[in-house]
A and B are shown apart, each in its own frame.
Chain A
Amino acid sequence: MRVAVVGVGYSGFNANTPDLNWKEITLEAAARAYDDAGINPRKDVDSIVTCAEDIWEGFAIFDEFVPDQLGGVLKPTCTVCADFLFGIATAYMQIKSELADIAVVEAHSKASDILTFGETIKFAMDPIWLREIGSAHPYYFAALEMSQYINECCITEEQIAEVVVKNKNNALKNSSAPYGSKVTVEDVLNSPMVFDPMRKIEIAPRADGAIVFVLANEDVAKDLTDTPIWVKGVGWWSETSNYDTMSFNAVYAYKAAKMAYKLAGITNPAKEVDIAEVDDRFAFKEFQHLEALQLSKRFETGTLMREGYFAKDGELPVNLSGGSLGIGNLLEATGGQKALEVVLQLRGLAGRRQVEAETGVAQAWRYIPTASGAVAVFGV
């Protein structure tokens, strides 16, 4: 029995939403998703999964504020403290366990409500070993990883710049991407070096938005829609919580992808996957994740990027939506944005960004200072 995505809805994405609170953006995304799926949430939905972390929202027990705007009053609703793709995995498991026929996954980002973003990330660091080291913004953690990675794999700063150029230019074709711009490699290399070797333009700025997916089991999906997008595989993995023993090679993405590919029956990802949306909230991460997802070989990714292998008209388009560099850091909804683009592409609803694709991969990481991530494989 397979699991399919029968409806998607989203609200955003914007740098700031001063007029709407998070309940309202979630309501908008949910209303669109239910309309897309053609269901009445009060009658048809069996389970709702929210992906949220308390401290991003500013409440203790965020679960309390979830049900009303999703139509979940007195329904099985729960919170998974992880990225949207973990939520997809949860909904997948719930449907497979026959606990639900229709399951809804939701995530949102109201990053503009957080006044002290750096302090919030710092709050996630080990209080005894890491938190009090230095007074710089915690982005330096990613820079440390970047430094080791580009040295190990001999990646030049021009190659990193290509990622920024590709994604930000792709974002120009995405009407919901607030950070698209026509940059060149030279513009990137002129951007200030804020955390050597990381430049300011390589860091995805924050954004607000909400994404809701409706998943259903095979029989219900065939009743509801002519174009179900099958969730072929899900995978998630955590390496460790200790920053000093992390692999710095995105092993979490590698193992999560392995699990997802196995479920999907994919043996040669580089050939069988048509499009990919990988987590690029720091530009160098796109390289790491592409290699971890086995979409390109180590030491070759830089050259392939230069040659346009991952561009819209290339062999394996990556981050057609503009990625997080073009859309913004959506916190826990980042995986949702990736999955959203893959689903829209597979349905043929991606407008000017459309390419031909039958199998797509969405991947997300749980941001600094973690080494956990999830992958989902979608197919027609």
Chain B
Amino acid sequence: MEVERVSGLKFHKKQDVAIVGAGMTTFKRRLNETGKELSFLAIKQALEEADMDLSDIEMVVMGSAPDAFDGLHMKGEYLLDGSGGSDRPYMRVFVGGGTGVFAPIAGYWHVASGLADVCLVVCEEKMSSCMPHPQSAFKYIWDPILDRPLAPNLIWIFALEMNRYMHVHNIKHEDIALVSVKNKANALDHPCAQLAEKITVEDVLNSEPMALPVRRLDVSPPSDGAAALIMVAPHIARQVTDNPVWVTGVGWALDTTMWTNRDLYFPRYVAEAAKMAYRMAHITDPRKEIDVAEPYDPFDYKELHHMEGLGLAKKGEAPILTREGVTARDGDLPCSPSGGLLGVGNPIAATMGVKAGELYWQLAYRAGKRQVAKEVTTGVCQAWGDLMQVGTVMVMSNKR
């Protein structure tokens, strides 16, 4: 389809941003395709949905997690041709695990500033290249003097945070395990899912201990995968569809490096980022105004932790909402209807497909069997990263 474009760079006024296409590859522990090929597959799907060509794309934003996984330095440069960045302005952004929602935020400011009318956002992850296990690359996120001599494992920080959260609000592991059960069951309807299965709370509590209180079924697996989004300016969105999904609010925040100096029971970095995004989207009561949410759930307790950070539940209340079925797909505030990272997989940056991509599909009523029961207008997706530091939040709406 020929998209009629106004010639010349429109750089003199701020414009709204809509999402008109998304795509993702399957998420599996190990995929045969290279990082470049995965990006290509995801982008192809997104372009097909929007009925656009690569030649319609003006700028490209790429998000990808630590270079250590792919075994490359400057991997943004290496992956650029597979990401559609050849012969184009191309930029790679990175905020650790928060990249899944941060790359679309970067895509937002490419279009909102007026410098581009059509921006492609692509995230790719190839964790399986790192041998013997992608966990090994996480050795290098720690402070080399204060933390590394103790031979820490990434799971430690989650376990420490989970324990603190459980202790402060007196939450039982059974309630937290409900999230894992819900998400893995939700993922049965997702074609790209890696670990979709029907499990019970007992399965979770009896699974292999990794770093107590975290057990194997509390954790999302490392995966390979890629996802893509197409973000456009209003006049392009109008030509492509009558019902674009608008990005109404973005926010991101980074907390101090000294994570041991913080009380870990509440993710204040998510709260700050959400504050910024809600202010932009004119949302004052998130619990009422948000219809569907995709909080980041690399661990089951993280979904609860982030729900509270996003203001969707009062502190300590999130497990109660889960227990009562409020966060199920047919509930009042469905959370992670896609199956989240626990069910679909965790290819760090490519989780964009499961967070931002899913939210877009839900608001466009194109999520198929995963579509939530209620009518949806506004939704929020969120990602988290680094050493319990980064919160990135995006609010979308299908009404302008």
Contact = CB atoms under 8 A, between A and B. Distances in A.
Given A60-B141, A123-B73, A97 B254 contact: no
A307 interface: no
A97 B102 contact: no
B77 A366 contact: yes
Given A81-B92, A239-B86, A240-B86, A68 B258 contact: yes
Contacts of A77: 252-254
A72 interface: yes
Interface string A344-373: 000000000000000000000010011010
Interface string A209-243: 00000000000000000000000000111111110
A72 B254 contact: yes
Nearest to A69: B257
A193 interface: no
Given A64-B257, A75-B253, A235-B89, A124 B109 contact: no
Given A96-B115, A97-B109, A98-B14, A90 B91 contact: yes
A86 interface: yes
Interface residues of A, number: 59
Nearest to A369: B77
Nearest to A251: B87
Interface string A88-109: 0110111111110000000000
Given A74-B255, A99-B109, A61 B386 contact: yes
Contact of B67 (A53, A96, A236): A53
A127 B35 CA distance: 12
A90 B92 CA distance: 11
A138 to B, nearest CB: 11
A270 interface: no
Given A74-B254, A238-B88, A240-B81, A124 B74 contact: yes
Contacts of A238: 77, 80, 85-90
B341 interface: no
B91 A241 contact: no
A79 B76 CA distance: 13
Contact of A86 (B71, B74, B91, B138): B91
A370 B96 contact: no
B93 A61 contact: no
B12 to A, nearest CB: 8
Contact of A78 (B137, B139, B252): B252
Interface residues of B, number: 65
B269 interface: yes
Contact of B74 (A74, A97, A235, A366): A366
A263 interface: yes
Contacts of B268: 74
Contact of B386 (A63, A81, A98, A256): A63
A81 B94 contact: yes
B137 A63 contact: no
Given A60-B138, A96-B11, A98-B14, A79 B93 contact: yes
B156 interface: no
A236 B89 contact: yes
Interface string B7-42: 011010010000000000000000000000000000
Interface in B54-104: 65-68, 71-74, 76-81, 85-96, 102
A54 interface: yes
B109 A93 contact: yes
Nearest to A119: B73
A325 B60 CA distance: 32
Contacts of B137: 60
B66 A61 contact: yes
A54 B252 contact: no
A98 B276 CA distance: 12
A76 B90 contact: no
A259 B115 CA distance: 10
Contacts of A95: 113
B306 interface: no
A12 to B, nearest CB: 22
A44 interface: no
B353 interface: no
Contacts of A123: 71-73
Contacts of A144: none
A64 to B, nearest CB: 4
Interface string B250-273: 111111111000000000110011
A254 B31 CA distance: 38
A73 interface: yes
Interface string A28-59: 00000000000000000000000001111011
B381 to A, nearest CB: 17
A9 B170 CA distance: 49
Contacts of A97: 14, 108-109, 112-113
Contact of B140 (A60, A98, A235): A60
B387 interface: yes
Given A68-B256, A240-B80, A78 B93 contact: yes
Interface of A: 53-56, 58-61, 63-68, 72-82, 86, 89-90, 92-99, 120-121, 123-124, 126-127, 235-242, 255-256, 259, 262-263, 366, 369-370, 372
Given A78-B94, A98-B14, A127-B72, 19 more contacts: A55-B68, A61-B96, A63-B254, A63-B390, A67-B254, A67-B255, A77-B252, A78-B254, A93-B110, A98-B112, A124-B74, A124-B78, A236-B91, A238-B87, A240-B80, A241-B79, A241-B86, A242-B81, A370-B74
